[in-house]
Amino acid sequence: MSVQPDDRDPDRPAGRTGPGTEPDAGPDPALRADCGDCFGLCCVALTLTASADFPADKDAGEPCRHLGTDFRCGIHRRLREQGYRGCTVYDCFGAGQKVSRITFGGQDWRREPGSAERMFAVLPVMRQLHELLWYLGEALTLEPARPLHDELREALAGRPCPAPAGRRRRSG
């Protein structure tokens, strides 16, 4: 489901595509999908069931029949009219390019089929992690969440948050 930039759903929340440049200006731009730097992972790794959003069943690990050898979508300008609406709204939160370029060092699943199964298994895990990071970043832009901003910054920096006072364990 490699969503090309010009395929993006016009109804998609604007926040999903608005990169932040400062820590509190929103989620990290690296959490935006960059299909051009991905090996079409969402078009092969995911199990898809025929529905209003995708017209055919597809097993995990089976490349979509529209996925080209260059990892581009062969029908990306006709997705909606051909019944692939789900492909225009799916968002990997940048997990695709992270798994492709960093976790697996740029080795794609066609040239390195031995790593394909692990690569496909990692994608949904990475996506969940990236989605959580997105929400943490987004919360830093929300005024009602201000009392939590310090904790959020600690979490984003990878540091353990101090337990809330009411939940601290007594020592001794």
43 binds ligand SF4 (CB under 6 A): yes
**Number of C-alpha atoms within 13 angstroms, CB side, residue 93?**
19
Among 28, 32, 39, 66, binds ligand SF4 (CB under 6 A): 66
- Binding ligand SF4 (rule: CB under 6 A), the pick from 31, 41, 45, 64 is 64
Q: How many CA atoms lie within 13 A of 159 on its CB side?
A: 9
Q: Is 1 in the site for ligand SF4 (CB under 6 A)?
A: yes
CA atoms within 13 A on the CB side of 163: 6
CA distance 162 to 154: 9
Non-local CB neighbours of 68 within 8 Å, separated by 6+ positions: 74
Q: Of 28, 38, 39, 84, which one interacts with ligand SF4 (CB under 6 A)?
A: 84
Contact status: 73 vs ligand SF4 (CB under 6 A): yes
Give least dist CB 117 to ligand SF4, A: 19
CA atoms of 60 and 44, how far apart (whole Å):
6
Give whichever of 5 and 162 is closer to ligand SF4, judged by the CB atom: 5
Site residues, ligand SF4 (CB under 6 A): 1-2, 43, 64, 66-67, 73, 75, 84, 87
